[in-house]
A and B are shown apart, each in its own frame.
Chain A
Amino acid sequence: KNQVEQSPQSLIILEGKNCTLQCNYTVSPFSNLRWYKQDTGRGPVSLTIMTFSENTKSNGRYTATLDADTKQSSLHITASQLSDSASYICVAPSGSARQLTFGSGTQLTVLP
């Protein structure tokens, strides 16, 4: 069964601090792995899309890593801001890539 598991479920940090969110996936065959940011009451916004051959990808203060051997991905947020408070969702297409397996998300709260 294809699965995407995220940890932690929730995280609270102080503004300016760094944090790392984890995503473990078991999908086959692997196509790509995506990280989305979803603000409360809004639709998800794509942060990164990583293919099998990519180990790391950055988008501003967001850096995603991918280890295809261990089937793990992480999203590192540097110098957090209040606006980073959101749910971060890990997504992996599976099978024929027509089925998208979603993680349950990590709820990040950044406090002043």
Chain B
Amino acid sequence: DAGVIQSPRHEVTEMGQEVTLRCKPISGHNSLFWYRQTMMRGLELLIYFNNNVPIDDSGMPEDRFSAKMPNASFSTLKIQPSEPRDSAVYFCASSLRLAESTDTQYFGPGTRLTVL
């Protein structure tokens, strides 16, 4: 398996623009997670899905952030409009079962977002 796939790997955009990050989880995994990592705040869980359904989005910082999982093999994280403080590395991860389980989460390579 190719592991968790994220695209793009790098994104540079201007403030106010819409940004869409994409993730393909490992085939057969039922849970998908979106994280954000910054130097100041470290790693933060934004939202996670189980069987394509959002289970907990309490980590989503603002209404400007939205995430969807239309099917088991694809998810998007959208920021509209983007702001400079959104600059971070965004990771997608997947696991076989729920976050409550002890299943290993497998992380993608991340998308480095820079908002100018």
* A105–B42 CB distance below 8 A: yes
Beta-carbon contacts under 8 Å, A82-111 to B: 89, 91, 93, 96-100, 102-105
* B107–A44 CB distance below 8 A: yes
Please tell me the number of chain B residues within 8 Å of chain A, measured between CB atoms: 22
* B45–A100 CB distance below 8 A: yes
* B99–A32 CB distance below 8 A: no
Q: Which of B43, B44, B55, B93 has the most CB of A within 10 A?
A: B43
B27 within 8 A of A: no
Across the interface, name the chain A residue whose C-beta is closest to B105.
Answer: A46
* B108–A43 CB distance below 8 A: yes
A55 within 8 A of B: no
Q: Which of A43, A98, A102 contacts B107 (CB 8 A)?
A: A43
Beta-carbon contacts under 8 Å, B29-65 to A: 42-45, 48, 55-56, 58-59
Please tell me the number of chain A residues within 8 Å of chain B, measured between CB atoms: 22
* B91–A98 CB distance below 8 A: no
Beta-carbon contacts under 8 Å, B67-116 to A: 91, 93, 99-100, 102, 104-110
* A98–B43 CB distance below 8 A: no
* B43–A44 CB distance below 8 A: yes
Chain B residues with Cβ under 8 A from A43's Cβ? Answer: 4, 91, 93, 107-110
A78 within 8 A of B: no
* B43–A89 CB distance below 8 A: yes
Across the interface, name the chain B residue whose C-beta is closest to A44.
Answer: B107
Cα–Cα distance between A32 and B58 once the two chains are bound (Å): 21
| A-B residue pairs in contact (CB < 8 Å), sample of 22 | A31-B100, A32-B102, A43-B91, A43-B93, A43-B109, A43-B110, A44-B43, A46-B104, A49-B102, A49-B104, A89-B42, A89-B43, A93-B99, A98-B48, A98-B55, A99-B56, A99-B58, A102-B42, A102-B43, A102-B44, A102-B45, A105-B42
